């Protein structure tokens, strides 16, 4: 992947209105170099010339995922922490696609395990139920993995009853097997509205606060969207528009 292709890919991943994808990309490479100092030079050697010139500030201990994303936000001038998270995830996804698989594995070996949750599903390094549930847990601010599993089961189960069987099959095939198995395939394409959809998720996940239910539902769909972007987008098209808007952060 050449530099222009990386920039164009990153621009598509970022929210409309972001006018400096080159800065975001350079910030990602710098933050990676600072967090994985032992392989920083090797990392840059496998990237286009424009990114080989990006130098990390200096050696240090590997950053946590949150600190890594915050560092990218700082370097790229993100206006707030939410935008910093967006920049970091999109930037790492593009860098991950540009690197040879062997180099990507060497990079991840230097970093905490949960960095793999930031990578797209077709990297071949993040498609496990554990990493997916860990990301749901983090985004929904849950106490443990079992809560993340219950929430994911609730959202997928209710979704499966509101879309066509063909769409359920497509989404199931794009997810880790253990996650795909959470889809309730007994009934399909039942008419629903936003209130009923969220109320059923609340019942299944044992959450009573409507605002929390909305946030949790959005968190699960956001993770699904990074794992299986096309299948998730098609699924959202079959859901009530307010639910789709919630899932897409609008």
Which domains can be identified in the chain, with CATH numbers? 3-126 (1.10.490.110), 137-247 (1.10.490.110)
pLDDT tens digits for range 160-169? 989 988 888 8
pLDDT tens digits for range 84-122? 988 998 999 899 888 886 677 778 778 887 787 777 655
Among residues 225, 237, 14, the alpha carbon closest in space to that of 120 is found at 225
Residue 170: count of CB within 10 angstroms of its CB: 17
Written as six digits, the tokens of 128 are 């496990």
pLDDT tens digits for range 28-77? 999 999 998 888 888 899 999 999 999 888 777 888 999 999 999 999 99
User: Could you tell me if 140 and 148 are in contact, meaning their C-beta atoms sit under 8 angstroms apart?
Assistant: yes
Q: What is the DSSP letter of 36?
A: S
Predicted local distance difference test score (pLDDT) of residue 110: 82
Among residues 125, 140, 57, the alpha carbon closest in space to that of 92 is found at 125
The model's pTM:
0.53
CA–CA separation, 28 and 92 (whole Å):
6
Written as six digits, the tokens of 181 are 């198995």
């Amino acid at each position: 992947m050449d530099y222009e292709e990386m920039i164009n890919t990153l621009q598509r991943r970022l929210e409309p209105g972001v006018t400096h994808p080159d800065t975001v990309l350079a910030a990602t490479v710098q933050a990676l170099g600072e967090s994985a100092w032992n392989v920083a030079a090797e990392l840059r050697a496998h990237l286009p010339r424009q990114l080989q010139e990006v130098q990390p500030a200096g050696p240090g201990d590997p950053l946590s995922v949150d600190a890594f994303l915050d560092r990218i936000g700082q370097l790229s001038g993100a206006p707030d922490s939410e935008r910093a998270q967006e920049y970091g995830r999109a930037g790492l996804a593009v860098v991950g696609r540009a690197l040879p698989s062997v180099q990507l594995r060497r990079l991840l070996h230097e970093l905490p395990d949960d960095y793999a949750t930031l990578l797209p599903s077709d990297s071949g390094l993040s498609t496990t139920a554990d990493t997916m549930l860990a990301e749901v847990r983090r985004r929904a601010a849950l106490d443990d993995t079992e809560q993340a599993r219950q929430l994911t089961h609730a959202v997928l189960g209710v979704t499966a009853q509101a879309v066509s069987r063909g769409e359920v099959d497509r989404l199931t095939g794009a997810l880790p097997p253990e996650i795909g198995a959470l889809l309730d395939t007994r009934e399909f394409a039942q008419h629903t509205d936003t209130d009923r959809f969220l109320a059923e998720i609340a019942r299944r996940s044992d959450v009573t606060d409507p605002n929390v239910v909305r946030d949790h539902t959005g968190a699960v769909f956001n993770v699904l969207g990074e794992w299986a972007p096309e299948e998730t987008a098609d699924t959202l098209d079959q859901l009530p528009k307010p639910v789709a808007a919630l899932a897409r952060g609008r």
